């Protein structure tokens, strides 16, 4: 028997925390490619991703990007190159009616053992700290099992999208720390699931 708990009483007016989506970038918003995205010329929006971001904005969702970009730490691109790509991406998204509230990158190499490179949770915790997000009520959408692992570790509801460069879902099974709550075809499909979720 479900009893009304005190924190459910505002359900008629969902708090912002019920409408937060954390997105991986490459393989979710734009096509991933071998050898990293090093310039705007290599950045290609995936079909439907800008429409998905517009829908999230229209429905009042707060969207944050959490993305590993080790090409910086590897010396393949500079912070400035990365910022230039980010600026153009944000403008292109805005032109289509979407809005990204914040962008968090881990630019370290794996060997640096930082606490932000996914599957570690530092980028997610940065969002929580800077934007006051309750990660336990947020969605995390990514195309790698390392994204799922980070999201699950923080109690996010996780969605794996198959649109990425390296589909990995064949390895998922219930009980593993990197098993997604839901598998979607692409960001638009993931957003549809988010909006339809009955538990929200
Ligand atoms: Mg990715
Ligand atoms: Zn890092």
Question: Does residue 2 surpass a pLDDT of 70?
Answer: no
Q: Between residues 34 and 111, which one has the greater pLDDT?
A: 111
CA of 119 to the centre of ligand 2 (A): 10
Residue from 11, 24, 134, 178 carrying the catalytic annotation: 24
What lies within 8 Å, CB to CB, of 152 at 6+ separation is 158, 177, 178, 179
Task: For residue 143, indicate whether it is catalytic.
Answer: no
Distance of alpha carbon 169 from alpha carbon 183, whole angstroms: 8
**Ligand nearest, relative to CA of residue 29:** 1
Strands 139-142 and 20-23: parallel
Collapsed DSSP state (helix, strand, coil) of residue 111: helix
Q: Could you give the CA distance from residue 92 to residue 163 in angstroms, rounded to a whole number?
A: 20
CATH class of 15-196: alpha beta
| Six token digits for residue 24 | 């991986």
User: How many DSSP H helices and E strands does the chain contain?
Assistant: 5, 6
Q: What is the pLDDT of residues 72-107, one digit of tens each?
A: 999 999 999 999 999 999 999 999 999 999 999 999
State yes or no: is 18 an active-site residue.
no
Q: How much distance in Å is there from the Cα of 82 to the middle of ligand 2?
A: 15
Given a cut of 70, is residue 15 above it in pLDDT?
no
CA 144 to ligand 1 center in whole angstroms: 6
**Closest-CA residue to 143 (of 187, 174, 90, 85):** 187
Distance 25 CA to ligand 2 centre (A): 15
State the distance from the centre of ligand 2 to the C-alpha of 69, rounded, in angstroms.
Answer: 9
Residue pLDDT, tens place only, 129-146: 999 999 999 999 999 999
Provide the terminal-to-terminal Cα distance of the chain, rounded to the nearest Å.
19
Using the CB atoms, write b or e for 78-112: b if 16+ within 10 Å.
Answer: eeebbeebbeebeebbeeeebebbebbbbbbeeee
Per residue in 103-137, pLDDT (tens digit) is 999 999 999 999 999 999 999 999 999 999 999 99
- Considering every ligand atom shown, identify the ligand nearest to the alpha carbon of residue 140 and give its number: 1
Q: What is the pLDDT of residue 169?
A: 57
β-bridge partners, 64: 22, 102
Ligand 2 centroid–CA 73 distance in Å is 9
Residue 42 is classified by DSSP as G
173-192 per-position pLDDT tens digit: 667 888 999 999 999 999 99
pLDDT at 186: 95
Radius of gyration of the chain (CA): 17
Domain positions in the chain? 15-196
Catalytic residue among 7, 26, 32, 115: 26
Q: For residue 1, name the pLDDT band (cuts at 50, 70, 90).
A: very low
């Amino acid at each position: 028997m479900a009893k009304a708990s005190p924190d459910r009483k505002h359900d008629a007016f969902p708090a912002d925390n019920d409408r937060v989506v954390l997105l991986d970038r490459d393989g979710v918003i734009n096509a991933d490619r071998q050898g990293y995205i090093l310039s705007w010329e290599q950045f290609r929006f995936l079909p439907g991703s800008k429409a998905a971001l517009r829908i999230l904005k229209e429905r009042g969702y707060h969207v944050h990007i959490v993305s590993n970009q080790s090409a910086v730490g590897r010396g393949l691109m500079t912070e400035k190159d990365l910022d230039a790509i980010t600026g153009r991406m944000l403008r292109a998204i805005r032109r289509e009616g979407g809005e990204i509230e914040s962008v968090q990158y881990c630019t370290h190499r794996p060997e640096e053992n930082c606490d932000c490179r996914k599957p570690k949770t530092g980028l997610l915790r940065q969002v929580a700290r800077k934007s006051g997000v309750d990660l336990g009520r947020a969605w995390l959408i990514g195309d790698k099992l390392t994204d799922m692992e980070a999201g699950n570790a923080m109690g996010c509801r996780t969605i794996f999208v198959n649109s990425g460069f390296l589909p990995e879902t064949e390895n998922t099974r219930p009980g593993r720390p990197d098993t997604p709550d839901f598998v979607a075809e692409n960001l638009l499909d993931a957003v549809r699931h988010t909006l339809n979720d009955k538990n929200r």
